[in-house]
Amino acid sequence: MTRTVSRTLFASILFCVALSAFADAVTDRAKVLLQRNDPASAYKLLQPLEPQRAGDPEFDYLLGIAALDAGQPERAVFALERVLALQPDNLQARAEIARAYWAMGEREAAKREFEAVRARQVPSEVRATIERFLSAIASAEHTRIDSYLELAFGYDTNVNSATPNSTIAIPLLGNSAFALAPSLTETDDRFLNFAAGTNFTRKLNLAWSVVGAFSGNFRQNLKQSAFSTDTVDGSLGLRYTRGLEAITVGTQGQHFAVDADQYRTTGGLIGQWQHSFDERTQASVFGQYASLHYPTQGVRNAHRGIVGVAYAQAFSGEYAPALFVSLYGGEEKQVDDTFAHLGHKPVGARLGGQWRLGGGWSLFGAVSYERRKYGGTEPLFLVTREDKQTDVNLGLSYLWRSGTTLLLQAAHTSNSSNVVLNDFDRSVASVSARFNF
């Protein structure tokens, strides 16, 4: 449906009831522009006043309509959410936010809001329009493809995740001091990063779907090219959904290269059971098995198994915060028992979230902790290695235009180890642009 057709179809519910109550000159002018089918001018009129008038349901409602029909559905959602936070029974605003979700490709959210309006007493022509939208959503749900492209520039204080020490003592050799090669010590650099990927869902029937994902991440250091990396990931599986439950099983693989030379390949199985308490609350149990193969370092070949639980909660309101937490544990066991000191048992936790700040801005971040206890004595250092790694990242995103997000991110990794070669700190800062299709 075109925006013009959508405006006509929703005219009875959007204008005949709600707009008649507005009373000031700015909103009166905006109503005239919208009735003349000139949403771009209405949005240009209202948007500069948003910082002063956000929170006024009448203003926010008009701003939401103008933004939506001017091709800014994300901005429309921000404004209409403010209306619904104060007036949850405002059917006009709920119908418009449903249309905004549909324009953004958020089909589940659009479906939920359209159905909420349909369940109430609304004019027959409005109900017919909603049915057409719901039919379009049902048709689109058979196959869904979401893709992205991201370009980034950044600075890394430790591109090789190495110790800052230039010399170390070797216990096996009587604690004699040895100078480390430059490649084994902390090295900083600037970098360029290119990432792209696609996710798809193909519904086979009401219960079964084929799901898959493919992505690539290519990082080029500007000076230290020996530590540039290429990562390609892929997965394919089946999902069974019934009521509030969803079970996904599938295969996954990864190719990881350093300086364009293959370093490691991974292949295995994944499984997840997910329970939705409601549309904003989910819990899941997941498991993963993978076979790790190192073409030039066969002694590192291993089998890795991980199990864990996760919980996610999204909140309503102007800032719409969302939080998640996960706990996991497992084992990475070396194929060759002679090198048991290369295998380990990881246990970890992760906590993160996102908060909308308004005006297209969002804040997001996460913190994680992992302890790894290794399976044997290190031959050179005469201890059983144990690592404790903490990762913290924080970012700010700005929705510049529909489908285009600008991001500023900073991350820090601290890996504390009783083997000096593996004890390091690393900080990364980057700016990027992400394009969603």
- Strand pairing partners for 392? 367, 412
Predicted confidence band at 135 (pLDDT cuts at 50, 70, 90)?
confident
Same domain, 265 and 128: no
User: Total structural domains in the chain?
Assistant: 2
The pLDDT of residue 22 is above 70: no
Strand pairing of 143-156 and 189-203?
antiparallel
In this structure, of 27-31, 332-336, 342-346, the range with the lowest mean pLDDT score is: 27-31
In this structure, of 25-29, 128-132, 137-141, 220-224, the range with the lowest mean pLDDT score is: 137-141
Give the pLDDT score at 129.
Answer: 76
Same domain, 291 and 422: yes
Which CATH number does the domain housing residue 155 bear?
Answer: 2.40.160.60
Boundary (domain end) residue, out of 140, 157, 174: 140
Same domain, 136 and 152: no
- Strand pairing partners for 163? 185
Boundaries of domain holding 216? 143-436
In this structure, of 33-47, 247-261, 344-358, 371-385, the range with the lowest mean pLDDT score is: 33-47
Regarding predicted confidence, which is higher, 201 or 195? 195
Report the SS3 class of residue 403. Answer: coil
Predicted confidence band at 143 (pLDDT cuts at 50, 70, 90)?
confident
Same domain, 53 and 116: yes
Regarding predicted confidence, which is higher, 290 or 130? 290
Report the SS3 class of residue 111. Answer: helix
Same domain, 283 and 396: yes
Boundary (domain end) residue, out of 98, 123, 140: 140
Report the SS3 class of residue 5. Answer: helix
Mean pLDDT score of the chain = 88
Same domain, 165 and 116: no
User: How far, in whole angstroms, is CA 355 from its chain's centroid?
Assistant: 13
- State which of 27-36, 166-175, 214-223, 375-384 shows the largest mean pLDDT: 214-223
pLDDT tens digit sequence for 65-109:
999 988 888 888 999 999 899 888 888 888 889 888 888 877 778
Same domain, 134 and 161: no
pLDDT tens digit sequence for 307-326:
999 999 988 777 778 999 99
Give the pLDDT score at 141.
Answer: 60
Give the pLDDT score at 140.
Answer: 61
Q: Determine whether 199 is exposed, middle or buried from the number of CB atoms within 10 Å of its CB (0-12, 13-18, 19+).
A: middle
pLDDT tens digit sequence for 233-288:
999 999 998 878 999 999 999 999 999 999 999 999 999 999 988 767 899 999 99
The per-residue DSSP string of 342-380 comes to G-EEEEEEEEEEEEEEETTEEEEEEEEEEEEEEEEE-TT
Reported in sequence order, the residue ranges of 229-321 that DSSP labels E, i.e. its strands, are: 229-242, 245-258, 261-278, 281-293, 302-314
- Strand pairing partners for 220? 192
CA distance 35 to 401: 24
Under the phi-then-psi rule, with left for phi > 0, alpha for psi from -120 to 50, and beta for the rest, what region is 55? left
Which CATH number does the domain housing residue 49 bear?
Answer: 1.25.40.10
Same domain, 57 and 116: yes
Same domain, 161 and 87: no
Give the pLDDT score at 372.
Answer: 97
